[in-house]
Amino acid sequence: MSTAALVALSHVYGSGLRIWIKLRERRGKNKLPGFVLSVGNLTAGGTGKTPAAAMIAEWALKAGFRPAILSRGYGGRYKAEAFEVCDGQHLFCTPAEAGDEPYLLAKKLPGVPVVLSKARYKAGLLAFERHGSNFFILDDGFQHLRLQRDLDLVLLDATNPFGNMRLLPAGPLREPLEHLQRADGFILTRAGRGTSLIMMNYLKRKFRGKPVFQSEHVPERLVLPNLDHVHSPDYIRGKRVVAFAGIAKPEGFRETLLALGARIAFFRAFRDHHRFALSEFQDLVAEKQKLGADLLVTTEKDYVRLGQLAPTENHLGYLTIRFQILSGADAFFDMIRGKAREACWTPSTTD
């Protein structure tokens, strides 16, 4: 499709979006019996919302809240109006049913229920009724206007926050820039790569009074499940690897591996949320053998999607990532605690 046609479609999309937002505002918003925090973005994918939601859920649990993660479950095949991925202790479904990101959150967050619904309000009610949840985290919630929230956080990639500044489908923007006025605060992701200062100043100038935090996705562990080995990320230094990723920005994973000192013999990028065929995985294993690579490495999210394909290769590993506020972490969590107090929701214990 030509650029002119894409731009025309962007105008149609933008007009429809503005009408839809006005209709939503007239209909009012549902309110859950608890503190509601939204983690979202302005662009289509790639800012690291899921690791950020996991970090906040872990903090809330330690702080004495009863958190639950509410998600639409993009790509999931569930049919129920509200679908429980886990109760905080037990997984109730497959990655195909839940979608890769909710399933990964459920595996990583013991003690935190993960519930799916296109209407996040219904997911929240299920979490409240079954588990007494009182701290609701909306994963990818900025565009979900049907639910009232107490704190709206927007993540922006410091290396490329707005793309070409155009709305979908001509660009990556899901909404116009001025809609960031709805946000209560911003988190710049990938800010450790030396590009965030200009963006911080821009946001502070344009959206006065709204806090801006810097964050980075920090490699945490290299896991080789079939060998039952867990290593520090430094384990990969100097090793020849065949790597692959089916995430929004696969080149970011490649850059992470290079920064860790890996010698990348071959890298293959797939589209985001790609469901791997047996032949594709076999091709990657064959490439590793042909090149004499030490490891076949992917992301944790991609490993979840491999499912039953993964046990066929002993030297298959995945890299886990931790979302970290680079500076002002105390102020960040104090802000959340303060907003919860304003909303009359306090933890039963303190950390």
The pLDDT tens digits of the residues spanning 89-145 come to 999 999 999 999 999 999 999 999 999 999 999 999 999 999 999 999 999 999 999
Length in residues, the chain: 351
Residue 195's pLDDT band, with cuts at 50, 70 and 90, is low
| 337, 270: one domain | no
Q: Would residue 165 count as lying in a domain?
A: yes
As a whole-number percent, the residues of the chain with pLDDT over 70 amount to: 98
Residue 271's pLDDT band, with cuts at 50, 70 and 90, is very high
Q: Which amino acid is at 302?
A: D
Helices (H), 209-272: 250-259
| 170, 246: one domain | no
Contact present, 162 and 43 (Cβ < 8 Å):
yes
Report pLDDT for 193. Answer: 67
Residue 326, judged by CB atoms within 10 A of its CB (0-12, 13-18, 19+), counts as: middle
| 236, 282: one domain | yes
Contact present, 195 and 201 (Cβ < 8 Å):
no
Whether cis (ω within 30° of 0) applies to the bond prior to 169 is yes
> Could you tell me the CATH number of the domain that includes residue 91?
3.40.50.300
Output the CA–CA distances (angstroms, integers) from residue 64 to 89, 149, 180, 200, in the order listed. Answer: 17, 20, 31, 32
Residue 288's pLDDT band, with cuts at 50, 70 and 90, is very high
CA of residue 296 relative to chain centroid, distance: 24
| 93, 190: one domain | yes
Count of structural domains within the chain: 2
Question: Can you say whether residue 329 is alpha, beta or left, with left for phi > 0 and alpha for psi between -120 and 50 degrees?
Answer: alpha
Q: Would residue 146 count as lying in a domain?
A: yes
Average pLDDT over residues 271-281: 94
| DSSP H/E element including 56 | helix 49-62
pTM, full prediction? 0.94
Q: How far apart are CA 70 and CA 123, in angstroms?
A: 6
| 128, 162: one domain | yes
The mean predicted confidence, pLDDT, of the chain is: 94
Structural domain range at position 173: 3-216+324-342
Read off the DSSP letter of residue 28. -
pLDDT at 194 over 70: no
Report pLDDT for 25. Answer: 78
| 67, 207: one domain | yes
Q: Would residue 351 count as lying in a domain?
A: no
Structure tokens at 62: 């330690």
The pLDDT tens digits of the residues spanning 129-150 come to 999 999 999 999 999 999 999 9
Q: How far apart are CA 117 and CA 38, in angstroms?
A: 15
Report pLDDT for 179. Answer: 96
Residue with the larger pLDDT of the pair 271 and 351: 271
Report pLDDT for 350. Answer: 41
Q: Would residue 11 count as lying in a domain?
A: yes
| 263, 286: one domain | yes
| 171, 111: one domain | yes
> Could you tell me the CATH number of the domain that includes residue 287?
3.40.50
The pLDDT tens digits of the residues spanning 208-256 come to 999 999 999 999 999 999 999 999 999 999 999 999 999 999 999 999 9
Q: Would residue 347 count as lying in a domain?
A: no
pLDDT at 274 over 90: yes
Q: How far apart are CA 50 and CA 141, in angstroms?
A: 11
Q: Would residue 189 count as lying in a domain?
A: yes
| 85, 168: one domain | yes
Q: Would residue 233 count as lying in a domain?
A: yes
Q: Which residue has the tokens 């506020």?
A: 325
| 192, 55: one domain | yes
Read off the DSSP letter of residue 173. B
Q: How far apart are CA 351 and CA 336, in angstroms?
A: 14
Output the CA–CA distances (angstroms, integers) from residue 253 to 82, 269, 284, 318, in the order listed. Answer: 33, 10, 17, 11
pLDDT at 74 over 70: yes
| 154, 242: one domain | no
Contact present, 144 and 176 (Cβ < 8 Å):
no
Structure tokens at 178: 């001025």
CA dihedral sign, ordered 322, 323, 326, 330 = negative
Whole-number CA gyration radius for the chain: 21
| 282, 334: one domain | no
Average pLDDT over residues 285-313: 94
